[in-house]
A and B are shown apart, each in its own frame.
Chain A
C-alpha cells in the first residue's frame, strides 16, 4: 500500500513529499520527508476500529507533555486516508542495538567495542537513556516498550545524544488486561504472564536488560543453558523461571560469552544488576527504578579513565587497563563536595562521621586522564537532572601537574586557595591550577558564596602497576 504513497498531507493542510524509506517494521514504515528535517511514520492497519483506536492514541500522545524530553513524538497527524504522523528526522543516529552486538564480520570484539565508543560512551548513553525514562516516569507516563531498537543514539562515537522513537505506545500507567506491547527479551516477567499492564517497573526491567546487554554484550537471562536449550527454555527465562547469568546463588544459567562484568560493571552497577535480575525478576517492587540506574550510570561514566595505549576506557580503580594490560597512568580525581557557609567560617565543608574522624561528603567524582578534556556539566555542578543537566559548565584538562579550567557557559567561577586566603576566578579564558603531592588543591566553587553549593577539589592519584 505504502509503495505508492509519494505525498502526504498533515492536518494543517501542508503537503509533504516522501523521499526514501528509512525503515519498515510490523506496525508500519518510516519515510524521510523532502527537506531533510522531518520523517513520516505511516502505520499499516486495515481494521477501521483499530485505525480509529490508533488515531486516538496518537492524538493523545501528541498532547502529552513530552516537549522537553528526548522523544521523537508526533509533531503533526496526517490526514486520511493515511494513518500516521510527522516526527523529527533523526539524522546522524542509529538504533542502540548497533552497540549491543558486534557485526558478524568483526574480527576483534574489543576493537569494535572501542570504535563504537567503548565503556565510557556506553555508560553515558545508557545514563542519558535512563534520564529520559526517569523523566517520563516523573510525569506519570510509561514508555511501554523500551528496547535497543526503539532507542536511537548518535552514530558519531564522540557524541552521546539519545532519542526514543515509536512514541505511539507512551501512555499513562495501564492496568492488566489491556493490550500491551513489548519486544521479546525486554518484557518484564509479569507482562509476559499477563499479570500486569505496563508501568514504570516494567520499563525499569526492560531498561535493566538493555543496559546489561549494551555493556556486557550478553542478555542477562540467556545463559549457556538457555542458548543451548530448546526454545521453550528461552520463554521460561524471560518469564523469570530461570536464574540470571550472574546469579551468585545459582550457577545453572551461567554464560560463557560476553565481556566480563568485572570490566563493564562498577561495584554499584553490579549491585543494582543483582537486585534487578535476582529479587527484582520475581518481585517487581524490589526492582530498582530507572532514576537509580541513571544516577549509578552517570557516576560510573564519570569514574572511567582513558588508556593511553589502547584508547579503551575503564574504571579508575583498576590498576591496569583490562583491555590491554597497560598499567594505569597517574590521573586526577575531581571530587565534588558540599560547601555550606552557614556552618561557619573554616568549617564550611559539609562532612560526616567516619570512624573517629569526619570526612567531607563527596557527591560526585570525575576522573581526569592526562591530556584528556572532560566537562563539568550542570548535573555535576548543581545536581540538575535531565536534559538541562547535560549543559556544559566548565571544561577541565589535566596535563602533567596542572589542571586547566575554562568556563563554557560564559559565567565566572571562584577559585579559592586551600586555606581560603587567596582567590581567583575561572572565566572564558583558560586558567590553570598546579597540583602538588601531599598538598590540598585550590577549590573551584560552583555557586554563590552565600548559599549552599558544590565545590570541586582536585586530587592527583598515582599510576597503577602491572
Chain B
C-alpha cells in the first residue's frame, strides 16, 4: 500500500501564533501530518454568555425574573442573581421587565439549545493515535510553498511585498495504515472544545465546563455527519519555540490553528522524536541556536566586564598598571570583583571563592616576577643543614626558622613579629620557591624577603619603607584565600572581600613601584 502522506500533500496554514504577551527567542517550523475529514456539524462560534448568564437567561425565558426566586431555583445568592440580571440588561439580552429580548432569545437558543446552523467544515485526526484535534474549521487556508530541488517544500511567509522563506521539517508518517474514522461524538467534542478554546484559553485542552451535559443529546448528534468516507492527508504548518527570557530550557509547541500554545502538539512531537531522527535534530537545533545566541551574549558580557575592570584598575592604580607583569591577573581579579558586584545577592558563593583565588594568584604572579628579577639563589640554605651523609635537610626547629625569617623582616624594616602562618613557613616551601618548583605564596614571600636583605634595589626594600605592615597584609590574603579554598563551610560575603582586594591592590602598587600619590591605598 502506498504511503499516505506524500511530499506534495496539501499544506494548510491557519496562522499559528504565540500566546498573547509571549515572544520567542528561537523557533523551528514543522509541517505536522493530519488526516482531514469533511463533516457537517453545528457552526462553531465564540461563546456569547457564561454558564450562569445562560442559566439566568433561561429562567427569564421561563418567566422567572424575580432575583430571589432565580437564586432559589439556581441555588445562587439573590445578590448574584441581581448582578447577572443587570449584566444581561446591559447587553440588551433582557428587557426592563426581565423578559428576554429577541436578541436574548437568539443567544439562548444558540447557546443552550444548540440551534447553531449546520455548516460544512473540517476536522483533523492524528494519524498515529487516531485522536481528533479539538478544532473545527470551515475555511481551508493553504500555505504558500516553494519546493526545493528535492521536492520538500519551504514555507513562504511574511507579506506579499516582503516574503520570507522558512525551512520547515516535514514529519511524514511512512505507515500506510489509517486509523478508524472519527465517530459523531468525537466530532461533537472537537467542535465543543474548539468553541471553548476560542472563548477562554490560549490552550485548546481545557474542556468546556458544561461539555458533559449534553454530549449525548440526540438531536445534536443527528446533525453531525461525515461528508467524506476517506480522509485527506494534509500537513499543518506550525512551529516549536523557546520563550524569550525563559531560562527553564523548556520548549513549547504552537497550536497550528492559531490559538496559542499547544501542549498536545508538544506531547505528540515528543512521542514521535524516537521515530524521526530529523525531528529530534530539529528540536535540538532549537536549543543549539539558542545556546549559540547565549554564548554570543556571554561573550559580549565578558568583553564589557573586562572593559569596566580595566577602567577600574587604571582608575585605582593609574595607567602604569598596564606595565606590571601581573596585569592580566589583576584584570582577572577585578573582573571577578565587578561580576560579583553586579550579581549582588545573586552571586553564587563559588564566585566569591574564585575571587579570593584570583587575589592570591595576583600576589603569586607579583612574587614570581620579583623572583625572576632578583633570583633567591640559595637563601634557603639558611634554614637547611647537611646531615652526616652530606644531604641537605630542613631545620626542624621551628623557633629557629621563625627567628631567621623575623631577622630578615626586621632588617628590611617590616613590622615584627611576623604573622604566625608566615613565621611558620616550612623550609621546604621556601626551597621550592627558590627553585621555582612551587609557588606557595608564603614560601615566595619569605624567599623574596631573605633575598632582599642584601639588595638595596629589591622591591621589598622600598616596600618596607612605604608600608611596614605589608607582610601582614600579604599573609591575610594568603589566609583568606586558603580558607576559601579549603574550608567549604565558611559563608563568604562580598562586603568582607573588599578590604582584601584593596589590600592586594595596595600591595601590588607598593611592590610594583606605582606611585598612586597620597591615597588611602597606600595609607591603609
Which of A24-32, A83-91, A308-316 participates in binding chain B? A83-91
Proximity string of chain A (408-445) to chain B, C-beta cutoff 8 Å, 1 when within and 0 when not: 01110000000000000000000000000000000000
Task: Point out the residues of chain A lying under 8 angstroms from B15, CB to CB.
Answer: 36
- Are B160's CB and A163's CB within 8 A? yes
- Are A156's CB and B162's CB within 8 A? yes
Query: What's the nearest-Cβ distance from chain B to residue A390, in Å?
Result: 11
Task: Point out the residues of chain B lying under 8 angstroms from A94, CB to CB.
Answer: 161
- Are B162's CB and A89's CB within 8 A? no
Interface centre among B15, B148, B162, B163 (most CB of A within 10 A): B162
Query: What's the nearest-Cβ distance from chain A to residue B198, in Å?
Result: 15
Task: Point out the residues of chain A lying under 8 angstroms from B159, CB to CB.
Answer: 91-93, 155
> Within the assembled complex, what's the spacing in Å between the Cα atoms of A93 and B160?
7
> Within the assembled complex, what's the spacing in Å between the Cα atoms of A13 and B139?
11
A91's contact among B139, B141, B160, by CB below 8 Å, is which?
B160
Assess A89 versus B161: contact at CB under 8 Å? Given A14-B138, A35-B139, A35-B141.
Answer: no
Task: Point out the residues of chain B lying under 8 angstroms from A156, CB to CB.
Answer: 161-162
Task: Point out the residues of chain A lying under 8 angstroms from B163, CB to CB.
Answer: 161
Closest to B14 in A: A35
Is B158 interfacial (CB 8 A cutoff)?
yes
B162's contact among A35, A36, A154, by CB below 8 Å, is which?
A154
Query: What's the nearest-Cβ distance from chain A to residue B259, in Å?
Result: 15
> Within the assembled complex, what's the spacing in Å between the Cα atoms of A158 and B367?
61
- Are B160's CB and A89's CB within 8 A? yes
* Main DSSP-derived SS at the B contact region: loop
A92's contact among B120, B139, B149, B161, by CB below 8 Å, is which?
B161
- Are B148's CB and A91's CB within 8 A? no
- Are B160's CB and A161's CB within 8 A? yes
Interface centre among A14, A89, A152, A409 (most CB of B within 10 A): A14
> Within the assembled complex, what's the spacing in Å between the Cα atoms of A349 and B158?
42
For residues 66 through 124 of chain A, which have their beta carbon under 8 Å from a beta carbon of chain B?
88-94
B161's contact among A36, A154, A411, by CB below 8 Å, is which?
A154
> Within the assembled complex, what's the spacing in Å between the Cα atoms of A23 and B162?
21
Query: What's the nearest-Cβ distance from chain B to residue A411, in Å?
Result: 8
Proximity string of chain A (12-49) to chain B, C-beta cutoff 8 Å, 1 when within and 0 when not: 01100000000000000000000111000000000000
Is A159 interfacial (CB 8 A cutoff)?
yes
Assess A410 versus B148: contact at CB under 8 Å? Given A14-B139, A35-B139, A37-B141.
Answer: yes
Is A153 interfacial (CB 8 A cutoff)?
yes
Task: Point out the residues of chain A lying under 8 angstroms from B141, CB to CB.
Answer: 35, 37
- Are B161's CB and A88's CB within 8 A? no
Query: What's the nearest-Cβ distance from chain A to residue B199, in Å?
Result: 19
Closest to A392 in B: B165
Task: Point out the residues of chain B lying under 8 angstroms from A14, CB to CB.
Answer: 138-139
Proximity string of chain A (144-161) to chain B, C-beta cutoff 8 Å, 1 when within and 0 when not: 000000001111101101
Interface centre among B15, B139, B158 (most CB of A within 10 A): B139
For residues 220 through 270 of chain B, which have their beta carbon under 8 Å from a beta carbon of chain A?
none
> Within the assembled complex, what's the spacing in Å between the Cα atoms of A234 and B15?
50
> Within the assembled complex, what's the spacing in Å between the Cα atoms of A94 and B162?
12
- Are A92's CB and B158's CB within 8 A? yes
Task: Point out the residues of chain A lying under 8 angstroms from B160, CB to CB.
Answer: 88-93, 161, 163
Task: Point out the residues of chain B lying under 8 angstroms from A93, CB to CB.
Answer: 159-161
> Within the assembled complex, what's the spacing in Å between the Cα atoms of A161 and B15?
22
Task: Point out the residues of chain A lying under 8 angstroms from B149, CB to CB.
Answer: 409-411
Task: Point out the residues of chain A lying under 8 angstroms from B139, CB to CB.
Answer: 14, 35
Would you give 25 A-B contacts (Cβ < 8 Å), ordered by A?
A13-B120, A14-B139, A36-B15, A88-B160, A89-B160, A90-B160, A90-B161, A91-B159, A91-B160, A92-B162, A93-B159, A93-B161, A152-B161, A153-B161, A154-B161, A154-B162, A155-B159, A156-B161, A156-B162, A158-B162, A161-B161, A161-B162, A161-B163, A410-B148, A410-B149
B residues at A contact (CB < 8 Å): 15, 120, 138-139, 141, 148-149, 158-163
A residues at B contact (CB < 8 Å): 13-14, 35-37, 88-94, 152-156, 158-159, 161, 163, 409-411
8 A-B pairs closest in CB distance = A92-B159, A92-B161, A154-B161, A91-B159, A93-B161, A159-B162, A156-B162, A90-B160
